[in-house]
Structure 1
Amino acid sequence: MRYFIFLIGFLIGAAKLNAQFPYVQKFNYPAQLPTQVIYDMLADNKGYIWLATDKGLFKFNGRLFVKIPFDITSMQSVSYLQQDDQGRIWCMNFYKELFSLQNDTLRNYQFKDTRIKNESVIVNYTATKDHIWFASLENLYQINKHTGETIERIYSPEYLGITSLIRNGEEVVAYGAKGWIFTYPSKKPGWTKTSFTYNDTRMMSSGKYIYGTQIGKSRLPVFTVKKGVLKLTKPFEISDDVLVFHFASTSDTEQWICTQTGAYLWNVETGKTNLVFPNQSITDIVKDYQGNYWISTLDNGLFVCPSLNNKLYTINAGNGFDNISRVTTINKDTIVTGNTKGMLTAFNLSKESRMHYQLPISTEIQFINYDPIDKVVFSNRGIIDFRSTKPIREIDYGKSVFRDPNKNLIVASYNRTYVLNNPMGKNPDATPDTTGIPLYSHYMKENIFRKGLRIPVFRNARSTKTLLSKTGKYFWIAYYDDLYRYSFSDSTFVVRKRNNQKIVARTLFETSDLLLLAGTSNEGLFVIKNDKILQRFYTGNGLKSNNIKSIAEKDGKIWVNTDETLQIIDLKTGVITNLLDEYGLAGLTVNDFSLHPNKLILATTVGLVVNDYRGKPVNESIYFPVLKAISNGVELENKQELSSEKNNISFYFDAIQYKTPTNLLYRYKLTGIDTSWKTLSYSIGNLNFYQLPPGKYEFKIQAYDKNGIYESSLKTFQFSILPPFWQRWWFILLVLVLTGFLIYLFFKAWSKRLILRQGLKERLFKSQLVAIRSQMNPHFIYNVLNTVQGLLYDNRKAEVGNLLANFSDLMRKTLQSSDQQHHSLKEEIENLSLYLELEKARFDKNFEYRIELSLQDDPADLIIPSMLLQPFAENAVKHGLMHKSGQKELILQFSQTDQGLDVYIIDNGIGRKQSALINQRNKSKPQSFATKAIAERIELFNRLYKQKILHTVKDQFDEHNYPSGTIIHLFIPRYEVDKVDL
């Protein structure tokens, strides 16, 4: 629960039922502060309120209580709250364990001196800048705050021992039994004997002095200590039967005595006291940075007093319920109140005396009008003269009344608005006096209320308010459905909005400059002049609520009470001030109010609250003690650089405003992500940002009051998220360098490969020239011509013609292939056929050849290296078949597979072994092309292409194991797929 939940003030007690005390509110936080036992309090320099209780230490920030965990403890109960000069919070439990607050945890302070642990009774401790002073009954220890080592051990001078220890800044004072004082620092530190002897002494620091005296029921003089100088003053004036618990200081000039029956404001110089917070066992009083007084009790929880200027008077204490519904001022001493139980009370402010009128029916008092001529009070329950102990007339006057120029009573009731005769006259039940009032004749009715009675009835409709103009010439009546203006001179006008829409008013008021103010229940406040609306105030331009309950005027400004709060409107400027906030009464439910000449008087649900028009001296800033950022569970430093994976950031913040905490809002912006400010509720204390991209960021946040009264300083937190290493400049530079180096290596390798490939191509073209030269060598040409000559001698002219035609075709095709490294299988077969036909002519009738095809595709579509197969066929003819006697036969087989082309060249010659022997005998014969050109050409093709040409040569033998020829097998890959630009 994050809201202030206030119970009624605790100021009504059996001892002083009719006394006035400051208006006090009680906290009810059962879900957050699970105890009513508070031993000690502290208002720290950041604005937090700390509570030491039987259930542990709690921190309050205006919205919720946070319990502080221990690291190690023997018990939860803590007290002796302090804050040192470095801002650290200290406390101690009743097991002699000392704790300091570090990183939101109470850390057990470890004393190195075992004598401290063995002390039976601990009196107190105090923490200065560099030391911990620890007092037992018998010893005073000065301890190094940072190491825990005892610097000095100072014995108490008397057996009764040390009774109190306190510090004021860096000054430390200890009091020992029988009048011994120890002060530090001093020229000669040690115990000094004084003339005053106290037992059970308590001291407190006001910032200016240290005060000390005896607690309990003793009333000995008070001593002051400043810079080691002691001085006696008067004892405080409190009844001897009051048990004193503790002394507290809320400023240099405000000292308090906390007792079992209340808290007294104490003038130390004179000894005078004033009971301010009664009827509670009060353990401590602190004041926050905005001036609120916090009162802790031993058995009834926590209370807060917004200002000592707000006095709460109990009017009807005997009823047990002091819910005041209406209030009006009679004169500077007397006011009249009415409550929800139907009681009217005349209250004298100066004497605090009360005169009650308990009317027969317990009906809520809905209005109180004072008639200064007859000095009587009109209410919905009747007419009362406070000079008499009995009511003048008991009658239900409905919702509102006023008296016309003839002293008749105009009444607004639940079912009609009508006129009654002068109720203070001799015959109040007679027909009203209509002399000089023409309006009444038009509305006169017969037999209203009783037979024979004639009275003016304006409308048979429910009305809520009547108001007589200050001019005395006309009046207004607010009906349930319209607003009417009636003129006594006999005219009626319906006051409406510009678009002729109705005005349904709840209350009416006329200003000193004759402006009519019509307050409604759902449309706010209308300002009307000469029956026309001039202005409207509503929630859209500053009102806290559109439900207007009552209106008044003071010093030219309009005071408006809504069902939310009391506000002041400056009609000239339109500025609206939240009065309850300014007076320290935020959260108070005000039923009605009256502007006394010297005091603001509020009718509330808890009694009568009176303020002398003095606002609370409030610090109008909002404390903002905490803004921290966390990533991956680690708190960040401002302007910290984060790695790219730490891009989930959580911000924790805590603004403090005790005056109206529910009005607190946050505005924030994360520059780098947000372009405009965003708003958060006061109940939210953290923000999470996920997957932030790399960049520089600044988180800005400010707390402010939604009414524009308060504003904190702007808190900022800067951080940056580095890009991943692959996006950083050094990595990009490294990648560029490596890429450049790899490009260099690539081009170097590519250039080398290109040069090598170019060399291979040149060698391939050279081998092609060798092949051409081989095919066109003189020996071959000579053999062809020799064959031609022989055929001519034999007169075989037709064969000569065919032979020459084949020879010329072979030469032409050979020359055409000279610039091509590839051609089709069809072209290769044609070349082979031409060559073999020429060879067949040489052998005449003894040589035959066959070309066998087993192909899936057209030979014209199959690509093979040019001039590759003819040398194999030529070798088969020259070396295998030439020296063979008998029939010579050569077969060329072509079969296609998915991987390429299988070529078989089969002859029935003499075999490689016999051919080699013949070649050895004929050493003048040039070396065969097959041994050199074919091998080199195949090697070059295999180096240029991924798929390789394979070839094998196998000898054949007959049944007697004699050579019977050779089989050459070539595998030629599919060059139409693996193309290389040659």
Structure 2
Amino acid sequence: MTFLVFFSGGLLNAQKPVLQFKHLDIRDGFSDNRISQVVQDKNGIIWAATRLGINRYDGEKVSAYPLNNSAEIYDLKIIGVDNILIATSKGLYTYHKKRDRFELFSVETDDNTRNIFNKGVFSISSSNSYDFWMAGGKGKFYSVREDQKIYSYSAPQLNKSFSNTNIISLSEDTRGRLWLGTNNGEVWVFNPQTKKLIPLEEINNSYPINDIVVDNLNQLWVATNGNGVYKYNLESKSLIHYTATAKRGESINNNVVLCIYEGNNQRIYIGTDGGGINLFEPEKDHFTYFKQEVGEWGLSDNSILCLARGMHNVIFGGTVHGGISYFEDRINVYNISPQQLEFDTDKQGSKILEDAEANLWITAGRNGLRRYNPETGEVTVFIDNKNNSSDLAGDIVLSMKEDNKGRIWIGTLRGGLNIYDTNLKKLLQFSEQENLRSIYAIEEASGENMWVGTANGVVVFNDQLHIIKRINTDKGLSNNGITSIYKDVKGVMWVGTEKGLNILSKEGEQLQSFYTSKKDTTSLSGNHILCINEGPDLSVYVGTYGFGLNRYSRRYKNFERIGEQEGLHGKIVRGILVDNERSLWLSTNLGLSRIKSDTINSFGIQEGIPPFHGGNASLSKTGRIYFAGNDGLSYFEPETLQRDASQPRVFFTSFKVVEEKGARDLDPTAVFNNEQAYKLKLQPGYNLLTANFSSSNYFDLDDTEYFYKLEGLNNQWHALNKRKSLTFSNLAPGEYRLHISAKNGTGQLSLQEANIQFQVLPSFWQRWEIQAFLLLLTGLLILFLANWRNRNIRKQRDNFKKIVAIRTKEVEKEKDRAYKNELELLETERQNEQLKQKRLSDELRFKTEELTNSTLRTVHKNNLLVEIKEDFILEAKKNVVHKQLFENIVEKIDDSLTIDTEWEQFYTLFNQVNPGFIPGLKEETSSLTDRELRLCALIKLNFPSQQIATLFGISLSSIKVARHRLRKKLKIEEGTSFEIFFKSKGF
């Protein structure tokens, strides 16, 4: 067994808060990557100072504002609501909205006071309301009031010990005192009430003071240009000097400090020239360093020129070479580096097990297993030494479980099953341990048995480490590839496989299996199961590979699918856990998703939560959530990880209007600044408007979802998803107001919406006065046409009456002639029809007589044959010598009686007389024989039974029997004659 044990120096020094940075630079349109100052105004617009002037960024494009005389910019501040001030080497500049440019600051006062704004200004500090302070050269500083009163102060006059130097930094504290930092390293405090200027003698420094901040703990932070940082407690008068010579974590990492900013929870962010951002957390009295990193989320440059708060908890940092790096000022996630855990660069995510002694067992991808003690920072490394058969078998650990005896069961991909006894502090040897493969799941069942899920089904061990049962497809499992095992509150075992979900009793008997079905939306969403857990309501949650989450209802015995439509963005769910607040946490391919009160919130890279590739998050006994991977071990307290509930402000970035002369782009700054009640007007026939917009929350800018409604058309909000552009065309003339809003972190629409009023002008023909005139003209024309038409109608009616009278007489004469001709024609046709009917009747009578005669001849012939037959029969009895001869003659006579030749002739004549009779009988009763059809035909001709018997060559009694059978086949009711039946059927 190989153990590599080392200490990380304790958890406090090992952990590092996670900050994720985003960036803006020349690739986004900025003039330069050197950003000396940056602010965000109330609308969400970013203003950045470069060596080429001011850049304005609205989330879509950058607008450049060069300053006169190539002034060097020292400071940039927003005073009051939206008064943008710039301190430069050539004076104080301010932004004029109507002219959309920066101009020298001016007030209505005497020339001597006005000249102060034309000189070098090094720093600006906001005061109460719209007032501000500004610092100049040679010890000059000024207070500018909202009422345009200006108070000028000279430090050398206020205190003669003040050397003739420049004040390059200043800051007003909550008590109204002004702190001044000079170019020669001195710190002074000025009391506006007493007009006293006093040096802070405790600070012995000769380096320029780059920044001064008084924090909420009443501590003065002083940034020097080479002598580190001073922290001076204004109450206790104690002083701490932080320099780069101290031990790591106990002080700053670079002595050139360019800026200081106080964030949330008294955190102090320190920008250095080469050491990146140093973070001081007062409750831990510890420094953390954030330096330039390769990748999307690292700091872009190690030289930080400025730090300033933006909206939505964002802090912007201007750098020397990396543009703007910005991050959210909330630290939820802490990290222990992969180097401290001896992790390599394997991208495989980790699984974490907290044992009974609060040690964390962490899988290390393809590099074995780690045991980490959060209290001491002690790390134990378990790896597979091929030359040592008693150490960890298999470097790729897939699953872990601690049993009730304090033994850690460790499943690997190819090395089999390992069991580490925490009491004996060694790996145990047992039979069959190397014969198991792909152990993705281990669970303790009732009765101290351990279920081990392998590639060949479930293997059940007893507490003596003997295999007592194997459960596979032969025992009813849906598949042998076991991916997860879970024991619910009833002791029932849920077994997930690569092809379906199974419920088994604790004895291993198959109870039920579940599969996905395209036709049944209450079935599983996918068959590849990755994880199983019970929720707060005892519903069973099932995570799948590629098909999201399923919730099994014990009451209704079906599944509810939870996917992207319900707000779950990740499709691969690798882990499910329930925290102490009864919230559900899902480890997905996009990060962590929390389900609380049926609301789903997702947390990803920008909150410090990476995607889960093979691993999953774990809940500690204290309620802390851990996760690990190639970035090391990270953790957070669930209640601290919240979505930003602030209201993102939406603002327009540009408009495009199509007019007769072509497309015209409108700058929203010019649109809204020219007039307070500005109304955009669209020309008739060219009413096409495109509006582009953005959000003030730059950290979530790419994931912001927008909504719009257009008053004048409808008052309903419509989703735009992540689209930041909207076009309207062919709108009817009228007044409209366009509203754009965005969702905040909690999924609600922000109240800080953008809106603009515009008017679609009517064309010449759409103007109401023109339409009224046309309507009146149309009415007069209709009235004139109606009168003219009525006169013509009356005249035509009189002429028509005369013509009708004449035509009526002519028509009556023609009708008389036509009537007579028609009568004659009808009479002729009647006579012809009578002749035709007579001819047909005669023809029918003839054929009927011919049929009857033919039949009678046949009857007569048959009678003769019968008489001859009887004579020969008598002779045969009398004359024994010729008996055989007479019997042969009788047989020939019988044959002649059955010959069908006469019947064929009979049928020919009968069908001519009764063409539909035989086919109708066959359709009525298809089982009639040919002899029965002949019988029906003879009955139809009213032949008596005796003659029918003669024709058939049978006795009269046989004919009666044949008629009886025929009635039954034809289903003729009793009392109904054949003639009536044939007539009723239309034969």
TM-score range, shorter chain: 0.5 to 0.7
Could you list the per-position Cα deviations for residues 527-583 of structure 1 after superposition, in whole angstroms to 9, with x for gaps in the alignment?
15399325333333343234321122345554332223423445xx6x033253799
Matched to 1:82, the amino acid is K
Matched, 1:235 2:247: no
**Distance (Å, rounded) in 2 between the aligned partners of 1:331 and 1:616:** 26
Could you list the per-position Cα deviations for residues 898-917 of structure 1 after superposition, in whole angstroms to 9, with x for gaps in the alignment?
xxxxxxxxxxxxxxxxxxxx
Structure 2: gaps spanning 5 or more residues: 1-7, 247-253, 293-301, 387-393, 658-663, 781-987
**1:196-595, aligned counterparts within 5 Å?**
198-199=205-206, 200-205=208-213, 211=220, 213=222, 215-216=224-225, 218=227, 222=231, 232-237=237-242, 240=245, 242-243=254-255, 244-250=257-263, 253-259=266-272, 260-261=274-275, 263-264=277-278, 273-279=285-291, 281=302, 283=304, 284-294=306-316, 298=320, 302=325, 304-305=327-328, 307-317=330-340, 318-321=342-345, 323=347, 324-331=349-356, 333-359=358-384, 364-380=396-412, 382-383=417-418, 384-385=420-421, 391-392=427-428, 395=434, 397-398=437-438, 399-402=440-443, 410-414=451-455, 416-419=456-459, 425=464, 432-433=467-468, 461-472=480-491, 474-487=492-505, 489=507, 491-496=509-514, 504-511=527-534, 515-523=539-547, 524-527=549-552, 529=554, 532-555=557-580, 556-569=582-595, 575-578=598-601, 580=603, 584-585=607-608, 589=612, 591-595=615-619
Matched, 1:635 2:648: no
What is the aligned partner in structure 1 of residue 847 from structure 2?
A: none
- Residues 258 and 271, structure 2, Cα contact 8 Å, conserved in 1: yes
What is the aligned partner in structure 2 of residue 596 from structure 1?
A: 620
SS at match of 2:398: coil
Could you list the per-position Cα deviations for residues 345-384 of structure 1 after superposition, in whole angstroms to 9, with x for gaps in the alignment?
1122222222221335986433222224243242325424
What is the aligned partner in structure 2 of residue 82 from structure 1?
A: 77
SS at match of 1:614: helix
What is the aligned partner in structure 1 of residue 646 from structure 2?
A: 621
1:364/1:643 CA distance change after superposition, 3 Å = same
- Residues 336 and 344, structure 1, Cα contact 8 Å, conserved in 2: yes
- Residues 104 and 118, structure 2, Cα contact 8 Å, conserved in 1: no
Which one of 25, 45, 48 corresponds to residue 20 of structure 2? 25
TM-aligned CA deviation for residue 676 of structure 1: 4.5
**Distance (Å, rounded) in 2 between the aligned partners of 1:255 and 1:720:** 51
**1:833-852, aligned counterparts within 5 Å?**
none
How many residue pairs match? The answer is 694
- Residues 328 and 699, structure 2, Cα contact 8 Å, conserved in 1: no
SS at match of 1:342: coil
For the aligned residue pairs, the C-alpha RMSD in angstroms reads 5.2
**Distance (Å, rounded) in 2 between the aligned partners of 1:104 and 1:248:** 33
**TM-score (ref. length: structure 1):** 0.59
**Distance (Å, rounded) in 2 between the aligned partners of 1:677 and 1:405:** 55
Q: Which has the higher helix share?
A: 2
1:385/1:635 CA distance change after superposition, 3 Å = same
- Residues 346 and 366, structure 2, Cα contact 8 Å, conserved in 1: no
- Residues 179 and 196, structure 1, Cα contact 8 Å, conserved in 2: no
TM-aligned CA deviation for residue 20 of structure 1: 1.0
**Distance (Å, rounded) in 2 between the aligned partners of 1:55 and 1:160:** 31
1:659/1:332 CA distance change after superposition, 3 Å = farther
**Distance (Å, rounded) in 2 between the aligned partners of 1:640 and 1:530:** 60
What is the aligned partner in structure 2 of residue 712 from structure 1?
A: 751
Could you list the per-position Cα deviations for residues 211-238 of structure 1 after superposition, in whole angstroms to 9, with x for gaps in the alignment?
453524647865689xxxx994433555
**Distance (Å, rounded) in 2 between the aligned partners of 1:618 and 1:522:** 25
TM-aligned CA deviation for residue 116 of structure 1: 7.6
- Residues 706 and 742, structure 2, Cα contact 8 Å, conserved in 1: yes
1:15/1:139 CA distance change after superposition, 3 Å = farther
- Residues 189 and 198, structure 2, Cα contact 8 Å, conserved in 1: yes
1:413/1:669 CA distance change after superposition, 3 Å = same
Matched to 1:245, the amino acid is L
Identity of aligned residues (%): 15
1:153/1:337 CA distance change after superposition, 3 Å = same
TM-aligned CA deviation for residue 43 of structure 1: 4.6
1:616/1:163 CA distance change after superposition, 3 Å = farther
TM-aligned CA deviation for residue 48 of structure 1: 5.0
Q: Which has the higher contact order (CA 8 A, sep 6+)?
A: 2
1:481/1:737 CA distance change after superposition, 3 Å = closer
1:589/1:562 CA distance change after superposition, 3 Å = closer
Matched to 1:312, the amino acid is N
TM-aligned CA deviation for residue 409 of structure 1: 5.2
What is the aligned partner in structure 2 of residue 42 from structure 1?
A: 39
**Distance (Å, rounded) in 2 between the aligned partners of 1:178 and 1:554:** 53
| Higher gyration radius (CA) | 1
TM-aligned CA deviation for residue 141 of structure 1: 5.9
TM-aligned CA deviation for residue 593 of structure 1: 0.8
Matched, 1:107 2:107: no
**TM-score (ref. length: structure 2):** 0.59
TM-aligned CA deviation for residue 680 of structure 1: 1.9
SS at match of 2:616: strand
Structure 1: gaps spanning 5 or more residues: 1-12, 435-439, 446-455, 742-982
**Distance (Å, rounded) in 1 between the aligned partners of 2:748 and 2:699:** 11
**Distance (Å, rounded) in 2 between the aligned partners of 1:388 and 1:66:** 66
TM-aligned CA deviation for residue 678 of structure 1: 3.0
What is the aligned partner in structure 1 of residue 735 from structure 2?
A: 696
1:142/1:603 CA distance change after superposition, 3 Å = same
1:217/1:330 CA distance change after superposition, 3 Å = farther
1:294/1:390 CA distance change after superposition, 3 Å = farther
**Distance (Å, rounded) in 1 between the aligned partners of 2:755 and 2:236:** 50
TM-aligned CA deviation for residue 702 of structure 1: 1.7
What is the aligned partner in structure 1 of residue 632 from structure 2?
A: 607
Matched to 1:235, the amino acid is I
TM-aligned CA deviation for residue 610 of structure 1: 0.9
**Distance (Å, rounded) in 2 between the aligned partners of 1:466 and 1:78:** 64
Matched to 1:201, the amino acid is I
**Distance (Å, rounded) in 1 between the aligned partners of 2:258 and 2:210:** 9
Matched to 1:413, the amino acid is T
- Residues 417 and 457, structure 1, Cα contact 8 Å, conserved in 2: no
Q: Which has the higher strand share?
A: 1
